[in-house]
Structure 1
Amino acid sequence: MVTLIAAASDNHALGKQNQLLWHLPDDFKRFKEKTSGHFIVMGRKTFDSLPKRLPNRTHIIITRQKDYVVADCLIAHSLSEALAMCPKNEEVYIIGGAEIYKQALENADKIELTRVHHIFDADAFFPEINPSEWELVFEERHDRDDKHLFDYTFQTFKKI
């Protein structure tokens, strides 16, 4: 099963200049809970934006650079190559960035989305979720608090 996991704002913003636009500790916690023990697939810029390699996950980095090497990570040169490296009977998470999400949408079975309820200026955006192709099967709203500057909603979509 291929699952896209992301946090995107009401205007679909993901980030700007390869940086997140918000800090939501509960979203980080959910991301860790969902992806731990699984293969995670990402573009090179997304990998570069991480503070370090994420523990207890197999990283697959998609890059056009033919000589790109990172210790303890698998390297692919296309999304299809990356997905072919993953176990067929396990959940695989696509963690970004914008272009990888766009490419992976047609291969995805599920979307785990944190919708951040704010409009941001951004240069990277999550693709539109077509309601004729995706069904919202779970939704849990959270109000802003002292650790979360924005209201947000955890959503799970399944392909129809």
Structure 2
Amino acid sequence: MIAAAAENNALGKDNDLLWHLPDDFKRFKKLTSGHKIIMGRKTYESFPKPLPNRTHIIITRDKNYTVNYDECLVVHSLEEAIDLVENEIAFIIGGGEIYKQGEKASDKIELTRVHGTFEDADTYFPEIDENYWMLTKQEFHPTDEKHKLSFTYLTYVKKEDTLKSL
């Protein structure tokens, strides 16, 4: 899973992000380029067009939903999405409900923790349970001329003894 979430786990409002962090966008692009990205329909529709150099797997309950891009596949459950990912790296990129469902199937979380709280959000990242997840890396990014908020890149890996129990 890959996400940017505030300290209160806020992800977004009205299908948009609550902040603008250019370095986080660059990191997202670097990590996800060349891989499959799994998302809900609303997340997909928040993009002006498909993201380059990635296969988009879009989850929707709407059996009639179609997308006219070769790099996009439409499925109707997270299980179907995961079936399209064999032994390759794929990223669950949102939204909130897809993250909740995806936690069991994931073995790693790349989280950008945005230092701030946003009470007016309507989408949230699930709480990270440190009984199941171990923080393995963190890198702080202070505010600067391009970033009004500070943030920390956090990498969590699922603990070995909990890989199947979540």
Indicate whether the TM-score tops 0.5.
yes
Instruction: For 2:88, give the aligned amino acid.
Output: E
- Gaps in structure 2 of 5+ consecutive residues: 160-166
Q: Which has the higher contact order (CA 8 A, sep 6+)?
A: 1
Separation in 1, partners of 2:14, 2:41? 14
Instruction: Tell me what 1:113 maps to.
Output: 111
Separation in 1, partners of 2:141, 2:84? 36
- Gaps in structure 1 of 5+ consecutive residues: none
Instruction: For 1:38, give the aligned amino acid.
Output: H
TM-score (norm. length: structure 1):
0.96
- Root-mean-square deviation over aligned CA pairs: 0.6
Question: 1:50 Cα deviation (Å)?
Answer: 1.0
TM-score (norm. length: structure 2):
0.93
2:8 equivalent to 1:11:
yes
2:17 equivalent to 1:20:
yes
Question: 1:89 Cα deviation (Å)?
Answer: 1.5
Question: 1:137 Cα deviation (Å)?
Answer: 0.3
Instruction: Tell me what 2:38 maps to.
Output: 41
Which residues in structure 2 correspond to 1:50-129 (within 5 Å)? Answer: 50-71=47-68, 72=70, 73-86=72-85, 88-120=86-118, 121-129=120-128
Instruction: For 1:20, give the aligned amino acid.
Output: L
Instruction: For 2:150, give the aligned amino acid.
Output: D
Question: 1:104 Cα deviation (Å)?
Answer: 0.3
Separation in 2, partners of 1:51, 1:138? 32
Stretches of 4+ aligned residues off by more than 3 angstroms? none
Q: 1:29 aligns with which of 17, 26, 31?
A: 26
